[in-house]
Each structure stands twice: as C-alpha cells, then as structure tokens.
Amino acid sequence: MLGGLARRVAYQEKIRAEKKGVLIVDSGDLFFAFAPGENPEKNLAKARLIGRAYKHMKTAAINVGDLDLLQGVDFLRGEYSQGLPLISANLLDPSTKAPIFSPYVIREEAGVRIAFFGLLPSEFAPDIASAIKNANEGKILIKEPVEVARQTVQKLKGQADVIILLSDLGLFKDQMVAREVPGIHFVLGGHEGRFVNKSQPAGSTHIFQSSVKGMYVGQLRLIFENPPSPFKDEGETQQIQERINGLDSHLRSLQASKDRSAGQNIENIDRAIQDVTKQRNALQEELKRAQSSASRGNRFLFTLEPMEVRLPEDEGVRKWISEAGIDKD
C-alpha cells in the first residue's frame, strides 16, 4: 500500500507538470482497512504518512469514509487541524448538530467554480459497525445522505458551476442520490472497490468508481463551454467503436462458419449474420451522431490509470516510509 503511495505522489507531480488546472481529491476510506489483529500503532503510523503525503500533494478535498472512523474521529480532527482538507456534509458533532469538517469546498480553475462535497453511509457493515462505535462513542452523528445531499446542492447552486459528490456510499446508493437530487454533475466513489471506468448515468449525473487499494488513479478531464448545459462523454465515440469492432469480429466468425457449413445450418447462420449486421448498422448511426457532437458544449473524459510497480516513486515519500520503519509494507 505505502509503496503505491510513493508512486501516486510521483504520478500526480508528473501530471501537474504536463497540465494546468489539476485538482487532487479522494472519495474516502483513505486511511484504514479493516483487518482484525493488525498492530494499531503500525496502522496509525501508516495513516499519518498518508495524511502527510496528501498534504504534500496539495490535495483539494478528501471525503471521510466509514473505514476512516476506525481510528476514531479525534485522529481525523487532528489531521484536519494540521491542514488536511477533510470534508463531510453528513458527519456531525452530536452536541452541536454542525458538521465536524467542512461539508464542501469550492475551487476555481480557469474561471470555472468546481464544488466538492462528501457523504458517508449512515449505516455500517456488520463487520465494522462495533469497531467504529467503540472508537467514536458519543462523538459522531451521521445524518441520512439523501436529505443532506439535497440541502447541500441547494446551497451550492449559484456558488459553483460544477458540483461533484465524493462518495463513500457505494454504487447503488450513489445512483439513488443522483436520481433524487438533481444538480449533481459527477459522483466519484470508491467504497466498494469497483472498477467503473465508464459512466454509470443516473439522470444527468455521471457516476464512476476507481477500484480498490489505490491500484488506479481516476482522471476526470472537464471541458467547460456552456454553464447551463449537461456534460457529454467524450469517451462515448471510443466505446461505440469498440462495440462495432466486437460485432465485426463476430461477423467474421459467422462467415467462416458459413463457409464450412452446408444445408439447413447455412440458413441459421445467415439469420444470425443479418441480426448482427442490423446491430452494427444501428451502432454506426449512433457513432455518427456521437462524432458530430463530440467537439461541442460541455464535455468530459474519465480514465483509470493503473499504478503499476514499474512507475517511478517519489523519493521523498519513499524516505518517509523507510524512516517510519514500514519500508517493506
């Protein structure tokens, strides 16, 4: 995990050197994984290293996930007080009913105001519920996510041109929030560790997840031309072309089977060829439509970049890990 941290820092430095307007965010469960029997002091040392690295990267926002509560909210408060940009719209102080951390942040890049707000689940999985309760007894209150999302988006309208939810809810609940709360442009999630590199649309909201354990870095590139308009997926043309290529391969296979066959079987193959050809023709028309609109209006492109072992590591972070005595983690 921590070797991957050094690669991640080096990777973002490379991206920032190549491109302008880069914002680094995290959707939650950044600090802790649930593994009974692990050394708590070692886990705490890891978490502090992660926090140090994310401050070093000048991260814009980090959503608090449920696993981040395993060490206790006091640890998170300490990191927050030292400049780590934790956010959560529905994690409240039970005595004041106010958010413990900033519910959202707004960053302006190239004249575009981008808002990030964060949510975590109000109910925990059975295997972690007791551990989170023991670590945070009487110190946290978690409100129901949908209503908080609705209130937060209402506050952000007029303040931000793009609204992005950093979610630790899981894909199903992400889709529920997006359907019930209009105005969210993108949901960046990761709670379940799914590999979701193609938009999972819910209304006009586009939903993504970036796999598990920092194995990938999700990149969301935005081209912003018309503030009131929804965003179109620049990757759509590539996805349609991939489907056409798959049908072409299937057609070649069917034709080869026909060439080897005789009698009644040829009629069945001909019907299959006709069906696949109809699908291909429909996709070809869809591709033309997508290509004609691909260079106009608000657009996005989402990719998942693997943090492969062969990638360079940031030497400073590598040194921090070594000095902490967990170099072989």
What phi and psi, each to the nearest 5 degrees, are found at residue 10?
-65, -40
What CATH number corresponds to the domain at position 87?
3.60.21.10
Asked whether residue 188 is domain-assigned, the answer is yes
CB 304 within 8 A of CB 211: yes
Q: Are residues 148 and 187 in the same domain?
A: yes
Give the full edge-to-edge strand order of the sheet including 86-87.
25-26, 61-63, 86-87
Q: Are residues 60 and 126 in the same domain?
A: yes
- Structural domain including 280 reads 236-293
CA distance 63 to 130: 22
Asked whether residue 284 is domain-assigned, the answer is yes
Asked whether residue 262 is domain-assigned, the answer is yes
With vertex at residue 113, the alpha carbon angle to CA 231 and CA 203, rounded to the nearest 5 degrees, is 30
With vertex at residue 183, the alpha carbon angle to CA 25 and CA 236, rounded to the nearest 5 degrees, is 70
Asked whether residue 329 is domain-assigned, the answer is no
Structure letter (DSSP) for residue 102? B
Burial class (CB within 10 angstroms; exposed 0-12, middle 13-18, buried 19+) of 103: buried
Q: Are residues 165 and 283 in the same domain?
A: no
Q: Are residues 29 and 137 in the same domain?
A: yes
| AA identity, residue 302 | F
Q: Are residues 38 and 128 in the same domain?
A: yes
CA distance 208 to 195: 8
Residue corresponding to tokens 């939650």: 28
CB 208 within 8 A of CB 196: yes
Structural domains of the chain, count: 2
Q: Are residues 127 and 249 in the same domain?
A: no
> What's the pTM?
0.83
Q: Are residues 16 and 93 in the same domain?
A: yes
Asked whether residue 217 is domain-assigned, the answer is yes
Structure letter (DSSP) for residue 157? B
Q: Are residues 217 and 256 in the same domain?
A: no
Asked whether residue 328 is domain-assigned, the answer is no
Per-residue pLDDT of the chain (329 residues; tens, 9 = 90+): 465 889 999 999 999 999 999 999 999 999 876 666 677 788 888 899 999 999 999 999 999 999 999 989 999 999 999 999 999 999 999 999 999 999 999 999 988 999 999 999 999 989 899 999 999 999 999 999 999 999 999 999 989 999 999 999 999 999 999 999 999 999 999 887 777 778 888 988 999 988 777 788 999 999 888 777 788 887 777 777 788 888 889 989 988 888 887 666 888 888 888 998 999 899 888 778 777 766 667 888 898 888 888 889 999 999 998 888 775 54
Asked whether residue 181 is domain-assigned, the answer is yes
Asked whether residue 81 is domain-assigned, the answer is yes
Q: Are residues 258 and 181 in the same domain?
A: no
Q: Are residues 138 and 245 in the same domain?
A: no
